[in-house]
Copies of this chain bind each other. A is one copy, B any other.
């Protein structure tokens, strides 16, 4: 019966999104996918880094848990897509500092 579960969900959303953005490699992943048209395979993404593939896989998982990426299987490839909408959560948080309440 629609008992507000929303707030906690939201809070955790901030937690996971800000957490995900806290690593340079993950920010880089988002930018790269975006400038590549919005989606890329795991392999293409991994190729932009020097560190081991598996490390990138881990970053992708973090980004996905945060809702910033989704993936879709296409044969033996996995295509990751950026969820631009999810980034708005950051913008929303920043907006608090513009509501010029009482200054």
Q: Write the residues of chain A forming the contact surface with B, with a CB cutoff of 8 angstroms.
A: 11, 14-15, 18-19, 21-22, 24, 27, 30-31, 34-35, 37-38, 82, 84, 87, 90-91, 93-94, 96-97, 101-103
One complex includes copies of this chain to the number of 2
Contacts of A11 in B (CB 8 A): 24
Task: Among B15, B91, B101, point to the contact of A94 (Cβ < 8 A).
Answer: B91
Q: Are B103 and A37 within 8 A (Cβ)?
A: yes
**Whole-angstrom distance between the alpha carbons of A93 and B82 in the complex?**
15
Task: Among B18, B87, B97, point to the contact of A87 (Cβ < 8 A).
Answer: B97
Q: Supply 26 A–B pairs (Cβ within 8 Å), ascending by A.
A: A11-B24, A14-B24, A14-B27, A18-B18, A18-B21, A18-B22, A18-B27, A21-B22, A22-B22, A27-B93, A30-B97, A31-B96, A34-B96, A34-B97, A35-B101, A35-B102, A37-B102, A37-B103, A38-B103, A82-B97, A84-B97, A87-B94, A87-B97, A90-B90, A91-B91, A91-B94
